[in-house]
Structure 1
Amino acid sequence: MDDDAPIRGEVRVADYRRVSHGLFLRLRDGLGDDEEFRRDLAAYLLVLPADAVFTHVTAARLLGWRLPQLPEQVPVFAAVQGDRRPRRPGLICSRLVREPEPRIMHGLPVDAAEEILLRAARDLGILDLVIMIDSALELGHLAPAAMERLLETRRPGVARLRAAYGLATERCESAGETLLRLFHDAMEIAVRPQVELRDGSGRLIGRADLLVGGTTFVHEYDGAGHRDKLQHRADLRRERGWTGTPYVRRGFTLDDLLNHPGVVMHELDRALGRPHLVSRLRVWRRMVDNSLYAEPGRARVMNRWRRHMGVVDWAGTA
């Protein structure tokens, strides 16, 4: 027997770890989070039907999509045919509505890209979904024709997925860039993502996360990577290369977008010379509150997942 193969049953020795009820894996040193994640999924296949596929954020992670700010404990999501849906702590099974055509990723079966997004749309907010769709489009995993066919149906989650798909683009390269672009959309500021910038002689001087339409304002997301010493030096060299050009760079952080959106809105309105409209801020705050980036959204999603797993917690939902 393969020493690394998952085991179904009761194991009471010290060199195994428990994945879920009746599922165990031998302890191994030196493995990363993604490797352990794939080992866990291989163990779950022991209790899933042969036609099962992974879906929702489980499949998205296997496919290498960018994900929103997920809670620390996230269930494993699978889809199966028929009525045999195993119940395990940490496992949520939904029902397939057609014959699966699984894609194999890292030796594990995953659902079609559009179906993965639809399963996620039943739980997540629009901000969360657009991050996933942007990534799927950038990687070329999402066929527009298949997506359009799905959006013409009336299946649960289609309305939210349709709204998110209408906001998506293949030209964002990080979750932070997606959030920054959606903030500008809520503020009714037209932007172009990933625009090449050139000086007066036509020489390429860089590429902007967002270029505000009709202006030379470059707006960029400054995530944790920009605090790295080497990246910071590269950023400074890049900005010095803009000397003598009309481009003006402004950097924004996740804290700016989530905790100080009113301040950012006022800064942008002053720069654009337009009046402040509180209604724009309300649109953004509703989107954030319904996402995994805010406590109300996280509580809603976690309580939904607990109910599916047979654990009910109504705290914070009143």
Structure 2
Amino acid sequence: MARDSHRWHPKCRPPDDLVAPVPVDPTGRAGPTPAQARGPHWRRTTPGLFVPSSVGDDVPEQRILEHAARLPVVDSGVTGWAACRMHGAAFFDGLAHGGRTRLAVPLALGAKAQLRPWPGSRLLRARLTWEEVEVVAGVSCTVPRRALFDAMRTAPSLVDAVVAMDMMAAAEVVSIAQMREYAGAHPAWTGVPQVRTALALADEDSRSPAETRMRLIWVREAQLPAPLVNQPIWTRDGHLLGIADLLDPDSGTVGEFDGADHREAARHTRDVAREQTMRDVGLEYFTVTGNDLSHPQRVVARMHSTRARARWLRDDHRDWTIVPPPGWRTVPSLDERLARRAEAALEAETDTWSATA
């Protein structure tokens, strides 16, 4: 399967070994015979469609493909989290917060599409034009902005809606500005108030759902000023101390999310050393774990107590700074990166057209 190497990378590519469901074939050449379909060597995915029983549906894209296979030919497409995943956003894994409960695959249906409900999928009926559907790795999907819009407006909570926006931005698929424009063009749709509120809380520098959830506890439950996210911190002489998951620059408070990979011996050793380095220059430090996120008040208390211990030094009295040293390469904004990507795609398309004209 084609995958990015890092387990927690925000981008992914669809696997190259997905197996498309097939209907029964009396000859047994293009699919199982009726008798074979009833046997142990084939698994029914949806009404009238089968894959070999050796093909599991634990890979999100395989599950998406199986439900997409029953979509009408026109006026329909996979949407929401499933289309976000197909467009390359890795953290849309098809599991609810907690990582155990499977989410239904959302299927967008326009005015003319007819499809009956089926376990494992969710039907979303709303206006859908042909311009908002494209094929990705053999799956008919809504385009990225529509996919994210549906994910955010149907999210079970405001926090989940913010996570969706942050993770599409982390994957460099949709920016906050693009989503704000799209929501503005669909003001009367169900769930748009939640989308607008989520956009006001979103941050394009978040790199994981847990980081977003930690930040939202800081802002909403703890009611503290919005922090800087994944902020590089330097010494006064230009040495990079580290990149803080969350930084309150006024008080000098650093917050870090300690995920499962942080517990590996080598990584934990580096984390401890970095924390000590941060403290040595006058920064106060707190850590949040995955289990902590299920107990927001515990996290709130930790945030407030850490911030109360912080040194609150004036900028000219600090041994640390967030001002990049000379020569530090500034990363273009997400909108700039997406614009460049679109220009490159248009140029490639124009070159192809010119060559074949």
Give the TM-score range, shorter chain: 0.7 to 0.9
Q: Which residue of 2 aligns with 1:225?
A: 261
How far, CA to CA, are the matches of 1:104 and 1:223 in structure 2?
35
Q: How does 1:262-301 map to 2 (within 5 A)?
A: 262-273=297-308
Q: Secondary structure at the match of 1:124?
A: coil
Aligned length: 268
For residue 124 of structure 2, the aligned residue among 49, 74, 94 is 94
Change (3 A) 1:83 1:236: same
Q: Secondary structure at the match of 1:47?
A: coil
Contact 1:17 1:27 in 2 (8 A): yes
Q: Does 1:166 pair with 2:191?
A: no
Q: How far off is 1:255 after superposition?
A: 2.4
Render the CA deviation track for 1:261-290: whole Å, top value 9, x for unaligned.
33333333334449xxxxxxxxxxxxxxxx
For residue 291 of structure 2, the aligned residue among 213, 231, 255 is 255
Q: Does 1:109 pair with 2:154?
A: no
Q: Secondary structure at the match of 1:19?
A: strand
How far, CA to CA, are the matches of 1:91 and 1:243 in structure 2?
50
For residue 23 of structure 1, the aligned residue among 39, 46, 49 is 49
How far, CA to CA, are the matches of 1:155 and 1:164 in structure 2?
15
Contact 1:53 1:110 in 2 (8 A): yes
Contact 1:23 1:44 in 2 (8 A): no
The code of the aligned residue for 1:148 comes to E
For residue 273 of structure 2, the aligned residue among 237, 251, 269 is 237
For residue 55 of structure 1, the aligned residue among 75, 79, 94 is 79
Q: How far off is 1:141 after superposition?
A: 1.6
**Percent of counterpart pairs with the same letter?**
24
Superposition RMSD in Å = 2.6
Give ranges in structure 1 of 5+ residues lacking alignment. Answer: 275-318
Q: Does 1:73 pair with 2:102?
A: yes
How far, CA to CA, are the matches of 1:155 and 1:132 in structure 2?
18
Q: How far off is 1:79 after superposition?
A: 1.1
Render the CA deviation track for 1:203-233: whole Å, top value 9, x for unaligned.
1111000111302211111121211223212
How far, CA to CA, are the matches of 1:237 and 1:105 in structure 2?
44
Change (3 A) 1:252 1:44: closer
Considering Cα pairs closer than 8 Å and 6+ residues apart, tell me whether 1 or 2 has the greater RCO: 1
Q: Does 1:215 pair with 2:246?
A: no
Q: How far off is 1:65 after superposition?
A: 4.3
How far, CA to CA, are the matches of 1:20 and 1:74 in structure 2?
16
The code of the aligned residue for 2:200 comes to G
Q: Which protein has the larger Cα radius of gyration, Structure 1 or Structure 2?
A: 2
Q: Which residue of 1 aligns with 2:157?
A: 125
Greater shift in the superposed pair: 213-222 or 114-123 = 114-123
Change (3 A) 1:46 1:221: closer
Change (3 A) 1:244 1:200: farther
Change (3 A) 1:236 1:92: same
Q: How far off is 1:17 after superposition?
A: 1.6
